[in-house]
Amino acid sequence: MGKPDPVERALERIGELRHAPLTDQTISEIRHSLHNRSNLVIAKAAKVAGELQARVVVADLVTSFHKLMADPARLDKRCAALTEIVAALYAMDSDDPHPYLDGLRHIQMEGSFGPPVDSAAKLRGLCAQGLLRTRYPNAMDEVVRLLADREPEARAGAVRALATNGGEAGILLLKLKVLTGDPEPEVLAECFAGLLAAAPERLTSFVGEYVDSADEAVAEAAILALGESKDERAFEILKDKWQRTVHGRLRQVLLVAMACSRLEPAITFLIAITGEASPQTAAQAIEALATFRSSERLRSSLQKVVRERNECVVTESFARHFGE
């Protein structure tokens, strides 16, 4: 029988600390793990520190970060530890800009099955979010560069940072990003969500313009963002788009978005679709409403409509998604 792997043992022990009270012993073990030779152990210790809000180890997190940054390609494969350290610093409202600045500029190309990949993209995005919460005077100058980063994950992180902590300037930058476009719909989806969260009264109609985008992926992103905004003005835009959309995948996306809004008028509209639309569309509306399966009132209303229709496709969809 071989010796137990020390890294595996350390990881297992840190996992146990996640459910432990934040005592001096717990802090001591986390602190010790943050200086481990294994980047995986450091990563897990940082994650647990953030979850437990162990602010007394912030200095240790920063020290560990700078040690790894001395030779990150060798000391921290896949940026596992650096990324978790920054996530923990952000979770604990660390206002030291230096780790965020270093991480924001870090690129780490590593081998893969295909061309080399940049494993620091997520790190840069997280650092953008952290930096804008500090008092660093040139934070916006640093973060705005990330909107043109070659990695979508980094651009999306910059968008989240500007939406959350960028103020009025951040809103204008996100609006400009939407107007100029991005090759990745996921980045525009973050822009739509950020704009709707930051200033829904001003920007719901702006986002609504993109439900008719010629690029279906962009239209889909706008539709879902409007649904998730849970705003009645957004629902009216979705309802109008539904009435103008005869066929295609966007109809199903619209059903999902309206259900995501969780608004009473939207739920009523979806139940009406179940009763009036084609059997296939009614089945899709039932699927969209499945998120409310625990609501006895909705189940009862929907069941009445399904029984009145008495059509196989509709009945089967209700049985599949509502358990009858």
| Token pair for 257 | 């978005």
Q: What pLDDT was estimated at residue 4? A: 72
Q: Distance (Å, rounded) from C-alpha 26 to C-alpha 201?
A: 46
Gyration radius (Cα) of the chain, Å: 24
Question: Can you give the pLDDT at residue 248?
Answer: 86
Per-residue pLDDT of 191-220, as tens digits, reads 999 999 999 999 999 999 999 999 999 999
Handedness of CA 62, 63, 66, 72 (dihedral sign): negative
Contact (Cβ atoms closer than 8 angstroms) between residue 14 and residue 36: no
Does the structure show a pLDDT above 70 at 102? yes
pLDDT of residue 141: 96
pLDDT tier at 247 (50, 70, 90 boundaries)? confident
Average pLDDT rounded to a whole number, residues 265-278: 96
Q: Does residue 128 register a pLDDT over 60?
A: yes
In the chain, what percentage of residues exceed pLDDT 70? 99
Give the residue, 112 or 197, on which the prediction is more confident: 197
pLDDT above 90 covers what percent of the chain? 94
C-alpha 128: how far from chain center: 15
The 10 Å CB-count burial string (b at 16+, else e) for 107-126 is ebeeeeeeeeebbbbbbbbb
Angle, to 10 degrees, between the axis of helix 80-91 and the axis of helix 121-131? 20
Query: What are the tens digits of pLDDT across the range 17-66?
Result: 999 999 999 999 999 999 999 999 999 999 999 999 999 999 999 999 99
Average pLDDT value over all residues in the chain? 95
pLDDT over threshold 90, residue 156: yes
Structure pTM? 0.90
Can you tell me the distance from the alpha carbon of 8 to that of 321, in angstroms, rounded to the nearest whole number?
41
> CA 43 to CA 66: how far, in whole Å?
14
1 pLDDT above the threshold of 60: no
Q: Tokens 């973060």 map to which residue? A: 143
